[in-house]
Amino acid sequence: MLNRLSRTVWYGVLWLSRRPWAKRLQRASIQLAPERLRPRMRASMARQNAWARRYGLRVVRLSLTIVLLSAAFWGVWLLLILAADQGWLVRPASPDEVQGLEDRFR
């Protein structure tokens, strides 16, 4: 399930990054820089894109794993708080404790 979800999210990211407006936005960001910095920016952007193609799916999978684990821990924590509030976690009294309480309140 997590693999399919991460692949779907990664496909969406790749699809959006390949849209013409996204490519124009990348080119426009390079044009905002001074002329002497543009070759370095192009090389840096190419390295970033290569890194993203290589490791992007793993990063998405790791991020989704962290989010799902966080939600699971939050749910367990909420269940424990609810159980404590409802009295489900109270230890039953032993017969000796019950007898001691009865003797004490006579």
Asked whether the beta carbons of 90 and 39 are under 8 A apart, the reply is no
Q: Is the pTM of this model over 0.85?
A: no
- Does residue 37 or residue 103 have the better pLDDT? 37
Q: CA 91 to CA 79: how far, in whole Å?
A: 17
Residue boundaries of the structural domains of the chain: 2-104
Asked whether the beta carbons of 30 and 42 are under 8 A apart, the reply is yes
What distance, in Å, lies between the first and last C-alpha atoms of the chain?
Answer: 62
- pLDDT tens column, 40-93: 999 999 999 899 999 999 999 999 999 999 999 999 999 999 998 888 888 777
